[in-house]
Structure 1
Amino acid sequence: MTVAVTGPFASGKSTFVRMLGELGAETVSADEIVHRLLASDPETIARVAERFGGEVLGERGVDRRRLGERVFGDEGALRELEGILHPLVRREIGRRVSASRAPVFVAEIPLLFEGGDRYDFDCTVAVLTPEERRRGWASERGVGEERFQAIEGRQLSAEEKARLADVVVENDGGPDRLREQARALWERLLAERGSGGS
Structure 2
Amino acid sequence: MTIVGLTGGIGSGKTTVAKIFEELGVPVYNSDNRAKSLMQESPELVKSIKDLLGEEAYLNGVLNRAYISQQVFNNKELLEALNAIVHPAVRQNFIGWAKEQKSGYVIQEAAIIFEIGSQDFYDCIILVTAPEETRIERVVQRDSDNTVEGIKARMKNQWDDAKKIEASNYIIQNENIEQTKVQVLDVHRDILNKI
Q: Same fold (TM over 0.5)?
A: yes
Among candidates 175, 188, 191, match of residue 189 of structure 1: 191
User: Residue 40 of structure 1 contacts residue 61 of structure 1 at CA under 8 Å; is this kept in 2?
Assistant: no
2: distance between equivalents of 1:118 and 1:166? 11
Letter in 2 for 1:186: H
CA positional deviation for 1:121 = 1.6
**What is the identity percentage for the equivalent residue pairs of Structure 1 and Structure 2?**
23
Task: Please say if residues 38 and 61 of structure 1, whose CA atoms lie closer than 8 Å, have aligned partners that are also in contact.
Answer: no
Return the alpha-carbon distance in structure 2 between the equivalents of residues 172 and 117 of structure 1: 27
CA distance in 2, matches of 1:87, 1:116: 12
Matched, 1:148 2:151: yes
Partner of 1:107, secondary structure, is strand
Q: Which residue of 2 aligns with 1:12?
A: 13
Moved more, 58-67 or 121-130: 58-67
- 1:68-147 to structure 2, matched below 5 A, reads 68-140=69-141, 141-142=143-144, 143-147=146-150
**For the residues of structure 2 that align with 1:148 and 1:192, how far apart are their CA atoms?**
37
Deviations 1:25-83 (A, max 9, x none): 01101101111111111110111112211121123442222222232312221111111
Residue equivalent to 2:48: 47
* Counterpart Cα distance in 2 of 1:135 and 1:52: 27
Q: 1:158–1:29: structure 2 CA closer, same or farther, 3 Å change rule?
A: same
Tell me the number of residue pairs that the alignment of Structure 1 and Structure 2 aligns.
192
CA shift in 2, pair 1:102/1:59, >3 Å: farther
Partner of 2:59: helix, strand, or coil? coil
> In the aligned structure 2, how far is the partner of 1:68 from the partner of 1:132?
22
Judge which range, 101-110 or 11-20, deviates more: 101-110
Task: Give 1:21-60 correspondences, 5 Å limit.
Answer: 21-60=22-61
TM-score (norm 2): 0.92
* Higher alpha-carbon deviation: 59-68 or 103-112: 59-68
Tell whether the 8 Å contact from 2:127 to 2:164 is kept in structure 1 after alignment.
yes
The alignment's C-alpha RMSD in Å is 1.5
Please list the CA deviations of residues 94-123 of structure 1 after superposition, one character each: whole Å capped at 9, or x if unmatched.
Answer: 222222212220111110111044542221
Structure 2 SS opposite 1:66: helix
Unpaired runs of 5+ residues, structure 1, are: 194-198
TM-score, normalised relative to structure 1? 0.90
In structure 2, stretches of 5+ residues that fail to align are none
Q: Is the 8 A contact 2:76 2:157 kept in 1?
A: no
- How many angstroms apart in 2 are the aligned matches of 1:89 and 1:13? 18
